[in-house]
Amino acid sequence: MPTRGTTGANRLRRADRWMAHSPRVRRALHSCDSPVVVDLGYGRLPVTTLELSARLRTVRPDLRVVGLEIDPDRVAAAQGSAGAGVEFAVGGFELAGLRPVLVRAFNVLRQYPQDAVAEAWATMRANLAPDGLILDGTCDELGRRSCWVLLDRDGPVSLTLACDPRAIDAPSDLAERLPKVLIHHNVPGQPIHELLDAADRAWAAQAGQSVFGPRARWRAMLAALRSGGVAVQAQRRSIRDAVLTVPWAAVAPRLP
């Protein structure tokens, strides 16, 4: 299924910055001599593929980035932007026979039925390099609210919520951008609903931190969540985005 193609410059910046600073992603980028990164479903324009290449080259300057689309017309239109380690080709979840160390699939599975997610994940995972990773995520049109699942060859590893804290009233505002695998499970009794509820309560309790700015309030919220027993993962370094990452086990749906 072709993506809608609503490509926007800098739309995926939060995920890109997170990847560039993630120790696990950095290890994957250095895990082989000729690393390939796939941008799956880049849309009508190749701008986000070019941005991905620029940001990850700060980690691994010699990487090869391949933008994949199942629409041949989009691939043909993108060829003028190819060069300097960036290519475009026709391909889908099978990853065009490549063995990438990293796949970014943003705003792709959101357009599929929920029951298609497991097969799509399995197909991508089977075509990864041995230490390869996948980012399956969703964001709004301006990239102010973004959520993604990190996967390796064995399955999902973590969930990350990232936002401009000035663009939300509460962390649960990100619920509408949850990945397909979770969005229909955001109901009482499910772990993702419990996480968002806990985040909202911690956010409200830290309202006094707003005098120091919304990012300070977000950091105070993270500290409160940790104190309350939520397994919030520490960031390798401070980045400008408000980020909340938890292990997949903390949000995996409870199945009947």
Question: How much is the pTM?
Answer: 0.94
Q: What is the pLDDT confidence band of residue 4, given thresholds at 50, 70 and 90? A: low
For 75-127, how does the pLDDT look when each residue is reduced to its tens digit (9 = 90+)? 999 999 998 899 999 999 999 999 999 999 999 999 899 999 999 999 999 99
Average pLDDT value over all residues in the chain: 94
Cβ atoms of 56 and 19 within 8 Å: the answer is yes
What are the structural domain ranges in the chain?
Answer: 13-163, 166-232
Per-residue pLDDT, 200: 99
Sign of CA dihedral 148, 189, 168, 166: negative
Pick among 3.40.50.150, 3.30.470.20, 3.40.250.10, 2.40.270.10: CATH of 13-163: 3.40.50.150
